[in-house]
A and B are shown apart, each in its own frame.
Chain A
Amino acid sequence: MADDTNGTQKIAVLDPVGFPPKIAPKPMAPRLESLDGKKIYLVDPRFDDSGLFLRQVQDWFTERMPSVKTELVEMSSVYTKDDPKTWEMIKANGDGAIIGVGH
């Protein structure tokens, strides 16, 4: 096997790709049996008019599923930052969440 790139001989070359991280599986939260009487937070990442979109989602629940309580909350800063304060608040006071729209 030649270490050159001439002719039709087979040659050996190195792989240019890096090493991926080991993926740790994450559990999904138990789903709700029903949304009846539940409180769902609508989380606005404050990106590209996402708040205006979520208000339409909120209106949809008011009209179509009035037994569902919804509350629109904005993330504490830009969408690129984690927001544990808001997540803790939702965990303490809510039953579920809808996040959108990134783009």
Chain B
Amino acid sequence: MIRAVAIYMLTICGMLAASLVPSHAGRVVADLSQSNVSLSSGFHGTELLLFGAVDGRETDDIIVVVSGPPTDVAQRRKAQVGGIWINVETNIWKDAPSLYQILATRPLADIANVDTLGQLQIGADKLKLQLQPEKPQPGSEKPDAGKFLQSFARNMASTGLWPAEVGSVKLTDGALFRADVQLPANVISGIYDVRILQFRDGVVFSESQTNIYIKKGGLSAMIYNFAHDYSLFYGLFAIAFAVAAGWLAAAAFRRG
């Protein structure tokens, strides 16, 4: 159903793009099958269809970068101390994207050179992020972000939030494109940024941007808000519920 609607909209977009936009301007129009995602009780990750039209040539390329709301992430390093492995160093990555997913029509290296990708910060290893010690000591140096970035990207990939593989974008006749954006089960709530870049001859030809809004919904949202806004009552309620459930079970089994 969603697919059918999307394909229909793709066609409309394509016709619009073809008729309205002057051929030299270069323009990307994009939309999502669903821009609001609710983290309700049944949520276990989802897949969104990103589709749109581009005024381009068959040899053009599309790169899509999906990034989640900026979040501080603690990275801990373990070392052996007295026979056991414990965390000996903690650094905080400031405002790291909580989700980082890249989709492209071809391998990134075939689309643009390393310098261009670096400037655009496309690729987990090319992000310019601030790294600082968790407990800054006076006089100590800042940790070298470049040294830790590779292990950080590896750690984030293992959480599923920074998939290491580049997803695929299908570009048809240099005019219509579509891509499946995967949202894993552990996405956090917030505003997600989707950048769509049209590449021609190794440089960005045009660019567009859209958003995914992820919010806690339904019962999950109610429980979360209750826990944070009325924490004392939440605690009392949790205890009362537990006592009642335990008593009910005992009573039921006594009769049964």
A and B interact: no
